[in-house]
Amino acid sequence: MSVNIINQYREFWRQEKLRFSPQITILAVGDIMLSRGVGEKIARYGPGYPFVHVSSLLKQEQIVFGNLECPISSRGVPVPFVQSNFRADPIAVKGLVRAGFKVLSLANNHIYDYGPEAVYDTLKYLRDNGIAAVGVGRSFEEAREPAVIYISGVKIAFLAYTSAYNVVDSKHEYVAAPINLEWIRQDIQRVKQQADFCIVSLHFGYENVEYPIPECRHQARAIVDFGADLVLGHHPHVIQGMEVYKKGFIAYSLGDFVFDNLTDRRRQSLILKASFGREGIQKIELLPIWINDQYQPEVAPKELANSILAKVKELSQYLENGSSDNKFWEAAGKRFISDQKLGLLRSIRRDGIKAIFIRLKHLRLFHLKLLGAS
């Protein structure tokens, strides 16, 4: 069951003279984590197991994009001061290939979980299997390079960036591209000279909160102002709202796609289908997804699908009527102290007392505002 959520903006698109049939379709999914519990399923049942209910659906489209929330490697050691270290077995890449993935973002807080060797292996495994990777490189310049896909004479460029501080340290052998608006402006300006459309993936937001951080909304809109056609958000692990902004479309979070966390909100996900014509996005459709007890995404049954779509509509209306920012501070404030306490205890158990100083080092005004809202 899918829904065209652009219907309410028909007059806008009519004014933009989008009077042609779609030529290119892109599917975008949320966070893909192939380690831990999912990795155990892969080891037992094979690499295609996580995607068995959706692979035929994904393979129907020309381009499938997602955020790979783990390195793929058998090498490396867990880096310290990370709450969870993910690493997928190299066989997992075969599942991504069979499911039809063409482009994956690596610009996230888990890509460096097992150090530079695992990042190197991930890039190599993806490249050797025909999957383009964006958002990570041996330098910031390399991490900011686009993946350009050619379909029916149309060039679509993908860029990926993250707000995670742990993977943008220039001392690392590999770095992720940071959300630096001036750099992103330059990147999009350069990309638009060689590509027809630009899709930007942003790994940002507050985990388990259904509303975007106000700063994230500012960043996403600025990126559309720079020329991006579609902005795709990842990291919160739950679905957030969406909006048409000028000539672009922003999906703040598609939720998890493959993960081993089975709380109700994290089991709800979306596949976003964007149809492009020569002049831009013509149609956006959403397919509600449910992660089953085996950590597999499957098409949500009708009643649940309607509930998920109603939630997306509600969250999107909060963006439209201006109440989303206040709802973010209220929801995130309620979680902040318990989240920090749990994260700190985990870090101390694993990395010792030094974990306290690492956390203090990365405190920002944003965290103080959350403390005030708690």
Residue keyed to tokens 């058998």: 74
C-alpha span between 229 and 157 (Å, rounded): 10
Position 243 scores a pLDDT of: 98
Position 338 scores a pLDDT of: 73
Q: What is the pLDDT of residues 190-242, one digit of tens each?
A: 999 999 999 999 999 999 999 999 999 999 999 999 999 999 999 999 999 99
Whether pLDDT at 20 is above 70: no
* 136 band by pLDDT with thresholds 50, 70 and 90: very high
Q: Phi and psi for 276 in degrees, rounded to 5?
A: -110, 135
77-97 burial, b if ≥16 CB within 10 A, otherwise e?
eebeebeebbbbebbbbebbb
3 state SS for 87-145: CECCCHHHHHHHHCCCEEECCCCCCCCCHHHHHHHHHHHHHHCCCEEECEECCHHHHCC
C-alpha span between 259 and 37 (Å, rounded): 8
Position 209 scores a pLDDT of: 98
Query: Is residue 201 within 8 Å of residue 134, measured between CB atoms?
Result: yes
Whether pLDDT at 325 is above 50: yes
Look at 154-168, 211-225, 330-344 and tell me which has the smallest mean pLDDT.
330-344
As a whole number, mean pLDDT of residues 261-285 equals 94
Position 259 scores a pLDDT of: 99
As a whole number, mean pLDDT of residues 162-174 equals 91
Q: What is the pLDDT of residues 101-125, one digit of tens each?
A: 999 999 999 999 999 999 999 999 9
Whether pLDDT at 336 is above 80: no
Position 372 scores a pLDDT of: 72
As a whole number, mean pLDDT of residues 60-71 equals 97
* 366 band by pLDDT with thresholds 50, 70 and 90: confident
As a whole number, mean pLDDT of residues 138-156 equals 95
Q: Is the entire prediction scored with pTM above 0.75? A: yes
C-alpha span between 287 and 361 (Å, rounded): 41
Is the torsion defined by CA of 111, 112, 117, 118 positive or negative? negative
As a whole number, mean pLDDT of residues 290-299 equals 99
* 351 band by pLDDT with thresholds 50, 70 and 90: confident
* 9 band by pLDDT with thresholds 50, 70 and 90: very low
Whether pLDDT at 343 is above 70: no
Complete domains list, the chain, with CATH: 3-322 (3.60.21.10), 323-374 (no CATH)
Q: Which tokens go with 349? A: 């158990």
Position 367 scores a pLDDT of: 65
Whether pLDDT at 14 is above 70: no
Is the torsion defined by CA of 22, 281, 227, 220 positive or negative? negative
As a whole number, mean pLDDT of residues 264-268 equals 98
Whether pLDDT at 258 is above 60: yes
Q: Which residue has the higher pLDDT, 97 or 369?
A: 97
